[in-house]
């Protein structure tokens, strides 16, 4: 295993961290973790040098923390640093901070959580947490030893990320979605470098976009096939991250022992600035090819906003494009129906065409909106819904 700098801390973190959100199951219920298989996977990783485990209050229907606590109790606690997250959406009043943390300590069967994160912050949830005095509360939890270091995970834009990073000196680390397709999305490369410049460790989540870039379409695979290294798409994605000095550790939510074995092997040969210029150019070509597969030429310039009816046009286009690019329409439908504000969805478009007058790409937005909602919101097949020329 290779080890890397964890921000300003002296402690070296393993290049690969174990994300505890995608354990194998005994059936179709996400809360029914296959404990035998999952125990073997965790033990394999830790015995080969992985020293960072990441879980959360909500993972596996609330059962991930319980299982991780049971596993660590079997003799592995001193081999690993433990991270879990405060579910900010469960907080209604300041008193909930202690209630939730104490519940998590009990589920994990520990008296101390090494790394504690505010989960999935965005500009709105951060405002709420800040106004409820989460930072003074966290200082008290740090002082009484229930948590070792404070951080946050993040899903919003760069400006919101910078605001949170700059909010105080309590932060030791942050966790961002980052991969070779997300260099300009969410915190992006700018956010990675900004956090690192402030001395924060940066933990990476979604290194393979939830599996979207593991099984590429033929036109993308053809580019990978030109490389001499013979790496798998997953290995390429991981090595691209580890090549960057600002990356502290990369979390992988693994679902089988084979995935653990492959990722541990990949991490063992990782390092900063190990990819050649030609290999980096190859990954740029891969990104360009994925982008070329997007049917809607939206650049997310946001000139179309605000929509008078509240439609978040760039986000709707992004979800649809990703469903097509990665051949993962089912995932795009989940993103649209579960993680996209109902008030911002495409069916609120009244075809006023105000946005089309502002669009530099001349996209027929009002014609795309009913198609998007039919495919994503109603689950209709693409070929059964009229699509703009």
> Rounded to the nearest 5 degrees, what angle is found at the Cα of 311, between the Cα atoms of 295 and 318?
30
What is the tens place of the pLDDT at every residue in 25-34?
999 898 999 9
Determine the angle formed by the axes of helices 95-108 and 134-143, rounding to 10 degrees: 40
CB 344 within 8 A of CB 311: yes
* Residue 128 confidence (pLDDT): 97
What local confidence, expressed as pLDDT, does residue 387 receive? 86
Name the residue among 157, 162, 159, 183 with its Cα closest to residue 174.
162
Which of 274, 300, 331 is the last residue before a domain boundary? 274
Residue 52 and residue 173 in one domain: yes
Same domain, 244 and 331: no
Q: How confident is the model at residue 268 (pLDDT cuts 50, 70, 90)?
A: very high
Are 19 and 166 part of one and the same domain?
Answer: yes
Q: Give the pLDDT of residue 63.
A: 97
102 and 204 housed in the same domain: yes
Residue 361 in this model has a pLDDT that exceeds 90? no
355 and 258 together in one domain: no
How far is Cα 158 from Cα 306, in angstroms, rounded to an integer? 19
Tell me, what's the pLDDT at 210?
84
Residue 177's beta-bridge partner residues?
A: 205
Please check whether residues 63 and 148 belong to one and the same domain.
yes
Same domain, 23 and 71: yes
Report the DSSP beta bridge partners of residue 118.
86, 152
DSSP-based three-state secondary structure for 171: strand
Question: Are 198 and 253 in the same domain?
Answer: yes
* 7-11, 134-138, 209-213: the lowest-pLDDT one: 209-213
Same-domain check for residues 179 and 51: yes
State the Cα–Cα distance between residues 362 and 306, nearest whole angstrom.
17
Whether residue 280 is contained in a domain is answered as no
Contact present, 146 and 111 (Cβ < 8 Å): yes
Which one, of 90, 70, 75, 93, lies nearest residue 23 by Cα?
70
Is residue 53 within 8 A of residue 266, CB to CB? The reply is no
**Residue range 13-18: average pLDDT?**
98
The residues pairing with 203 across neighbouring beta strands, listed in sequence order, are: 175, 249
β-strands 9-14, 3-6: how paired?
A: antiparallel
Give residues with Cβ within 8 angstroms of 343, minimum separation 6.
310
111 plus 169 within the same structural domain = yes
Is residue 261 included in any domain, yes or no?
A: yes
Domain membership of residue 289 (yes or no) is no
Note the residue count of the chain.
Answer: 389
- Residue 47 belongs to some domain of the structure: yes
Instruction: Please answer whether residues 185 and 213 qualify as being in contact, where contact means their C-beta atoms are separated by less than 8 angstroms.
Output: no
Domain membership of residue 323 (yes or no) is: yes
29 or 3: which carries more pLDDT confidence?
3
| pLDDT over 90, % of the chain | 89
| Mean pLDDT score across all residues of the chain | 95
**Residue 210 DSSP symbol:** G
Residue 266 sits in the same domain as residue 332: no
- Is 306 domain-assigned? no
Quick one: pLDDT at residue 303? 85
Q: What is the pLDDT of residue 78?
A: 94
Q: Is 303 part of any domain?
A: no
306 upstream amide cis, omega within 30 of 0: yes
Decide which of 251, 274, 297 is a domain's last residue. Answer: 274
What's the rounded Cα separation, in Å, for the pair 130 and 127? 5
Residue 305 domain-assigned (yes or no)? no
Give 302-322 pLDDT, tens digit per residue.
889 999 999 999 999 999 999
Number of neighbouring beta carbons within 10 Å of residue 270: 20
- Calculate helix-pair angle for 313-325, 329-338, nearest 10 degrees: 160
* Cα–Cα distance for residue pair 266/260, rounded to 1 Å: 10
Give per-residue pLDDT as tens, 329-349: 999 999 999 999 999 999 999
Residue 370 CA to residue 350 CA, distance in Å, equals 10
Percent of the chain with pLDDT over 70: 100
| Residue finishing a domain among 252, 274, 296 | 274
Q: Which domain holds residue 347?
A: 313-384
Q: Tell me how far apart the terminal alpha carbons of the chain are, to the nearest angstrom.
A: 51
Q: How many domains does the chain have?
A: 2
Contact criterion met (CB below 8 Å) for 379 and 333 = yes
268 and 318 co-located in one domain: no
Question: What CATH code is carried by the domain that includes residue 62?
Answer: 3.20.20.100
């Amino acid at each position: 295993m290779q080890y890397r700098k964890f921000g300003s801390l002296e402690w070296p973190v393993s290049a690969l961290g174990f994300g505890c959100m995608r354990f194998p199951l005994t059936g179709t219920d996400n809360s029914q973790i296959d404990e035998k298989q999952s125990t073997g996977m965790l033990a394999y990783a830790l015995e080969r040098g992985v020293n960072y485990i990441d879980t959360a209050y909500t993972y596996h229907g609330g059962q991930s923390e319980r299982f991780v606590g049971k596993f660590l109790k079997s003799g592995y606690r001193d081999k690993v640093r433990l991270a879990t997250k405060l579910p900010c959406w469960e907080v209604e009043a300041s008193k909930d901070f202690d209630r939730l943390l104490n519940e998590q300590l009990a589920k994990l069967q520990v008296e101390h959580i090494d790394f504690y994160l505010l989960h999935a912050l965005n500009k709105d949830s951060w405002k709420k947490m800040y106004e409820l005095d989460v930072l003074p509360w966290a200082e008290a939890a740090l002082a009484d030893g229930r948590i070792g270091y404070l951080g946050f995970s993040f899903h919003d834009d760069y400006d919101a990320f910078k605001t949170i990073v700059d909010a105080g000196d309590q932060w030791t680390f942050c966790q961002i979605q980052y991969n070779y397709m997300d260099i300009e999305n969410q915190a992006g490369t700018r956010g990675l470098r900004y956090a690192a410049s402030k001395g924060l460790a940066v933990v990476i989540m979604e290194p393979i976009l939830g599996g979207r870039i593991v099984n590429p379409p033929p036109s993308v695979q053809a580019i990978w096939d030109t490389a001499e290294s013979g790496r798998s798409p997953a290995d390429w994605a991981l090595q691209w991250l580890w090549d960057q000095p600002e990356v502290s550790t990369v979390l992988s939510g693994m679902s089988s022992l084979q995935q653990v074995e492959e990722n541990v092997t990949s991490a063992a040969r990782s390092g900063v600035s190990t990819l050649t210029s030609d290999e980096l150019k190859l990954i740029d070509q891969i990104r360009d090819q994925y982008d070329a597969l997007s049917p809607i030429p939206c650049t997310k310039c946001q000139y179309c906003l605000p929509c008078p009816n509240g439609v978040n046009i760039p986000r709707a286009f992004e979800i649809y494009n990703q469903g097509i690019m990665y051949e993962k329409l089912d995932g795009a439908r989940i993103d649209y129906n579960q993680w996209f504000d109902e008030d911002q969805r495409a069916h609120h478009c009244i075809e006023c065409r105000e946005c089309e007058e502002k669009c530099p790409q001349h996209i027929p937005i009002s014609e795309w909106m009913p198609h998007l909602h039919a495919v994503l919101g109603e689950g209709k097949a693409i070929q059964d819904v009229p699509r703009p020329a």
